[in-house]
Structure 1
Amino acid sequence: MARNVEAYSALRELPADFLAVFCLASAERGSGVFAALAQSADKEWFSYALDIAWRAPLGEVDEDDLIEILEEFENRTESIDADDPGSKGFSIVQSAMLAVNAIAVYMNPNPARAEMSGQTLETVLGSFDFKLGGSAVTMTRAGEDEEVGHLQQLEQDGQNSFLDSVRSLVRDQGGSGLDRNFLEGLRDSCTPVRDEIRAATESVAELVGWDQE
């Protein structure tokens, strides 16, 4: 599974306050997974946590509220069987964890921790591409690039687009340029991919029988 290594390397050169925003964009796109798979009560709480995470970079949330979300996430997910990477529970927890990781990176900016968001969603979407492709193993000859499935490519494209927009802001404004307009525009731009991921997740659930669980 070919990863977006150039994008992850570029995170080390981003202004620190954009690291959490990189995570937020992945979390928004990936929220299509838990929206399709989670139980109603969990789904509502995960969405609430994501909304809070988007408000954090604007200074609209107290740190105590963020810590409470981190603790509540542990309580919410401890009863979900997420040990098997091929399971429904794994996909739910990993996609919901993206919002939690965005909060953690906001509180303690770290490029390696930010990379974890992208890597996590690539893993989940790559497994969906594999299932939707009939679970057929594709052999890659030496010197050839590994194929990237459609869903995983959507995430990589989203990451690359985000990095391009940040570079433009820094170049044109000479500062971070992180404000409400940027965040709202970024979140809106994630919506089509989020919806496509949700539809694909529903197809995976039907294909492998998760919709019967």
Structure 2
Amino acid sequence: MFATLADPEDAEWFAHVLEAAWKAPLGEVDEGELMEILEDFEARTGAVDADDPGSKGFSVVQSAMLGVSAIAVYLNPSPARAEMSGQTLQTILGSFEFKLGGSEFTITPNGEKEEVGRLQKLERDAQKSFMETVHSLTGDQEDGRLDREFLEGLRETCVAVRDEIKEATMAVADLSGWDQE
């Protein structure tokens, strides 16, 4: 999502952020570099207007925050912060669903379960599968058995979902006129 919406220089920076987030559990990135990424993110996003959930700036900052949050959670494990990242992605995807669906509101009667959009369901299912795979390898151990081969395989399972979200991001950008910004 970020790489699709951001300028090429920022997309390159974000590729580095994601690479560091994937390498961190293997101990291949030192804590100082991870802290620099967090500080750099703060500096990069400080001046971005990201208050409007329907704006390009909002989607850019929030999607970058997902990668940065992975690093923050690695440095300071917090289930609440990890869950908040999932909710952030659900919010972004929900706004995309709204735009792709013609920006029509639907009212859910009191007591009925709110319908989840296709992108949100796709992400929830992928997240559930991801967590089940990690848990099957690590069990309830404090010190899991994550190695490069496992993480690369896990990363590969994310490609199809990433590609679908990228397609939706491009469609939303087109519908919103963001490619003109």
Q: Deviations over 1:158-201 (max 9, x none)?
A: 11112222332245999723222221111111111111111111
Q: How far is 1:106 from its partner?
A: 0.5
Secondary structure of the 1:142 match is coil
Q: Which one of 92, 114, 119 corresponds to residue 87 of structure 2?
A: 119
Confirm whether residue 195 of structure 1 aligns to residue 163 of structure 2: yes
Q: Deviations over 1:94-113 (max 9, x none)?
A: 10111111111101111001
Confirm whether residue 129 of structure 1 aligns to residue 102 of structure 2: no
Paired amino acid for 1:69: I
Paired amino acid for 2:4: A
Match of 1:147 in 2: 115
Residue pairs, 1:159-178, within 5 angstroms: 159-171=127-139, 176-178=144-146
Match of 1:37 in 2: 5
Confirm whether residue 68 of structure 1 aligns to residue 39 of structure 2: no
- Distance in 2 of aligned mates of 1:173 and 1:83: 40
Secondary structure of the 2:51 match is coil
Q: Deviations over 1:24-50 (max 9, x none)?
A: xxxxxxxxx111110111111011111
Q: Which one of 151, 170, 179 corresponds to residue 183 of structure 1?
A: 151
Match of 1:90 in 2: 58
Which stretches of structure 1, 4 residues or longer, exceed 3 Å deviation after superposition? Answer: 170-175
Cα pair distance change 1:174/1:118, threshold 3 Å:
closer
Give the structure, 1 or 2, with the largest relative contact order (CA under 8 Å, sep 6 or more): 1
Q: How far is 1:143 from its partner?
A: 3.0
Secondary structure of the 2:39 match is helix
Normalised by the length of structure 1, the TM-score is 0.80
- Distance in 2 of aligned mates of 1:172 and 1:113: 20
Match of 1:7 in 2: none
- Distance in 2 of aligned mates of 1:171 and 1:150: 30
Structure 1: runs of 5 or more not aligned: 1-32
Match of 2:73 in 1: 105
Normalised by the length of structure 2, the TM-score is 0.93
Secondary structure of the 1:116 match is helix
Q: Deviations over 1:98-150 (max 9, x none)?
A: 11111111011110011111011111011000110011111212332211111
Please say if residues 169 and 175 of structure 1, whose CA atoms lie closer than 8 Å, have aligned partners that are also in contact. Answer: no
Please say if residues 138 and 146 of structure 2, whose CA atoms lie closer than 8 Å, have aligned partners that are also in contact. Answer: no
Please say if residues 42 and 76 of structure 1, whose CA atoms lie closer than 8 Å, have aligned partners that are also in contact. Answer: no
Match of 1:57 in 2: 25
